[in-house]
């Protein structure tokens, strides 16, 4: 099993290219199910989760061709030979539930296993199901599967008022509504850049959508969607993660393709902590200002607030801050599983429910640590970059779900990091 070995203490200098967004690509890929014409995605990330979605779509009868070393995906769903998303594939990744809406909209029925994924909270799919019921779908949960069927004439437009913001449910309903009869209004919709990117792609395919990026999205259903070519938006979570690398080690790094609008709330917190972020012609440049990192308070929130997917990485930075920082996790319960591993390295962290208090220390020491989920895994690597001695991160299959070639990208900036197989 692969491990990542990090020897800390080196300031980073150089540039890191930022890949296309995993969470956007995993949403865009099922959009192929809405049309019998090809959908081509450029700037696709090369990740295990993308391969899992590839396998799922192929199991439904889609054809997926990868070009340019996996950065270009051409997907065709002209022949949907199977309408069952099997447990053996779906259990690997929560985003698999996103095939439900498109299958129901185009084929009129679907059988989709309840999903699996990272153990960072329950994250139920009830909002997806209630939303589809508002469009006329008949649903039954049986033997671990969602059995769904549209009315005889297909899904019908309706009003879906989410009781709380859900990115996945917004995406599923947005895709399903494109082929529903009449108008669908999504209220309290998610505003994430991945939602905006999906809407832009669907519009290229012929969908009629207004309001993406706001809390109210209106979709006028059409009879059919066509093929399109669409670039996957920059991954704001990978961007934020690599912004923290020079922040925690010292030095300066330019993030190629970075956009301030994708990480505005995050960049504001970095500024509070004493980290300089400036826009360049090619992206964003990050460096530590004079002196030690300052303690700050962070509260996760739906976009445009501070991303929950950057909370673990920010905790790694604040382990070295002067003073005591507070991190309030408001999106997912049970998302501080990285804290005990950071404590093994010498961090001072006190967790009570959804709040973690981090008292900064001047130095931490490398140690054997274990990744518990995707974002936790990279937070341990960040801590290892600044710690004294050697840090060995095991269970990095979590890491490979969301970050491509971490050791190459950080190593190119001077980090001592390698992947070993034991």
Residue 116 clears pLDDT 60, i.e. is over it: no
Residue 117 clears pLDDT 50, i.e. is over it: no
* Gap between the Cα atoms of 21 and 34, Å rounded: 21
Residue 122 clears pLDDT 80, i.e. is over it: no
- What pLDDT, on a 0 to 100 scale, did the predictor assign at position 307? 96
* Domains, the chain: 2-18+234-421 (3.65.10.10), 22-231 (3.65.10.10)
Cα–Cα nearest to 113, from 87, 149, 75:
87
Mean pLDDT, the chain, whole residue set: 95
For 20-51, the pLDDT digits (tens) are 999 999 999 999 999 999 999 999 999 999 99
Cα–Cα nearest to 90, from 129, 130, 108, 117:
117
For 166-184, the pLDDT digits (tens) are 999 999 999 999 999 999 9
Query: 63: number of CA atoms within 13 Å, CB side?
Result: 7
Cα–Cα nearest to 177, from 208, 151, 143:
208
The pLDDT-based confidence of 302 (bands split at 50, 70, 90) is very high
For 217-238, the pLDDT digits (tens) are 999 999 999 999 999 999 999 9
Q: What percent of the chain has pLDDT over 70?
A: 98
Q: Is 194 in contact with 21 (CB distance < 8 Å)?
A: yes
48 contacts: CB under 8 Å, gap ≥ 6:
397, 400, 401
Q: Is 105 in contact with 80 (CB distance < 8 Å)?
A: no
Q: What percent of the chain has pLDDT over 90?
A: 88
Rounded to an integer, the average pLDDT of 249-274 is 97
118 belongs to the catalytic site: yes
404 contacts: CB under 8 Å, gap ≥ 6:
19, 45, 46, 47
What residues are designated binding site for UDP-N-acetyl-alpha-D-glucosamine? 94, 123-127, 309, 331
H/E segment holding residue 138: strand 138-142
3-state secondary structure of 391: strand
For 381-421, the pLDDT digits (tens) are 999 999 999 999 999 988 988 899 999 999 999 999 999 98
* Gap between the Cα atoms of 362 and 348, Å rounded: 11
Q: Is 119 in contact with 334 (CB distance < 8 Å)?
A: yes
DSSP 94: G
The pLDDT-based confidence of 119 (bands split at 50, 70, 90) is very low
Rounded to an integer, the average pLDDT of 237-248 is 98
Residue 121 clears pLDDT 90, i.e. is over it: no
For 182-213, the pLDDT digits (tens) are 999 999 999 999 999 999 999 999 999 999 99
- What pLDDT, on a 0 to 100 scale, did the predictor assign at position 289? 86
DSSP letters, 29-40, are: GGGGGG-SS-EE
Query: 31: number of CA atoms within 13 Å, CB side?
Result: 36
For 352-373, the pLDDT digits (tens) are 999 999 999 999 999 999 998 8
For 136-172, the pLDDT digits (tens) are 999 999 988 999 999 999 999 999 999 999 999 999 9
* Gap between the Cα atoms of 184 and 156, Å rounded: 8
Catalytic residue among 25, 118, 201, 413: 118
Pairing of strands 368-370, 390-394: parallel
The pLDDT-based confidence of 10 (bands split at 50, 70, 90) is very high
- What pLDDT, on a 0 to 100 scale, did the predictor assign at position 245? 98
- What pLDDT, on a 0 to 100 scale, did the predictor assign at position 120? 35
For 313-335, the pLDDT digits (tens) are 999 999 999 999 999 999 887 78
Rounded to an integer, the average pLDDT of 68-97 is 92
3-state secondary structure of 406: helix
330 contacts: CB under 8 Å, gap ≥ 6:
299, 300, 301, 308, 354
* Gap between the Cα atoms of 70 and 228, Å rounded: 18
DSSP 61: T
Alpha helices in 135-290 (DSSP H): 167-177, 193-204, 236-249, 264-272
- What pLDDT, on a 0 to 100 scale, did the predictor assign at position 124? 66
* Gap between the Cα atoms of 230 and 364, Å rounded: 44
- What pLDDT, on a 0 to 100 scale, did the predictor assign at position 125? 86
């Amino acid at each position: 099993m692969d491990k990542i070995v990090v020897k800390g203490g080196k300031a980073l200098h150089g540039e890191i290219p930022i890949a296309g967004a995993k969470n956007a690509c995993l949403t865009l890929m099922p959009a192929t199910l809405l049309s019998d014409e090809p959908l081509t995605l450029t700037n696709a990330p090369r990740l295990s989760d993308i391969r899992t979605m590839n396998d799922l779509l192929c199991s439904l009868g889609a054809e997926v061709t990868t070009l340019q070393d996996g950065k270009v995906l051409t997907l065709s769903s002209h022949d949907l030979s199977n309408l069952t998303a099997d447990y053996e594939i779906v259990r690997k990744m929560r985003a698999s539930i996103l095939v439900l809406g498109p299958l129901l909209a185009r084929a009129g029925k679907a059988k989709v296993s309840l999903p699996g994924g990272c153990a960072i909270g329950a994250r139920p799919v009830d909002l997806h199901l209630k939303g589809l019921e508002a469009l006329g779908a008949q649903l039954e949960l049986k033997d671990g599967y969602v059995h769904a069927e549209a009315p005889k004439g297909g899904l019908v437009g309706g009003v879906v008022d989410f009781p709380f913001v859900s990115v996945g449910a917004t995406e599923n309903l947005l895709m399903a509504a494109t082929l529903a009869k009449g108008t669908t209004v999504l209220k309290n919709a998610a505003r994430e850049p991945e939602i905006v990117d999906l809407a832009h792609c669907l519009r290229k395919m012929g969908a009629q959508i207004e309001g993406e990026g706001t809390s109210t999205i209106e979709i006028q259903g059409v009879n059919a969607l066509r093929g399109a070519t669409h670039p996957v938006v920059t991954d704001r979570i990978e961007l934020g993660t690599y912004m923290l690398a020079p922040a925690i080690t010292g030095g300066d790094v330019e993030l190629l393709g970075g956009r301030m609008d994708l990480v505005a709330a995050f960049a504001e917190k970095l500024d509070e902590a004493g980290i300089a972020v400036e826009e360049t012609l090619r992206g964003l440049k990050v460096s530590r200002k004079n002196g030690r990192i300052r303690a700050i308070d962070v509260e996760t929130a739906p976009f445009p607030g501070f991303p929950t997917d950057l909370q673990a990485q920010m905790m790694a930075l604040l382990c070295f801050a002067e003073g005591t920082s507070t991190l309030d996790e408001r999106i997912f319960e049970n998302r501080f599983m990285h804290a005990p591993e950071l404590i093994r390295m010498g961090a001072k962290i006190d967790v009570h429910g959804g709040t973690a208090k981090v008292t900064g220390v001047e130095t931490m020491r490398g140690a054997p640590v274990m990744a518990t989920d995707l974002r936790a895994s990279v937070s341990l690597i960040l801590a290892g970059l600044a710690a004294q001695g050697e840090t060995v991160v095991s269970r990095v299959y979590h890491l490979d779900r969301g970050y491509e070639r971490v050791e190459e990208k950080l190593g190119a900036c001077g980090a001592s990091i390698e992947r070993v197989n034991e």
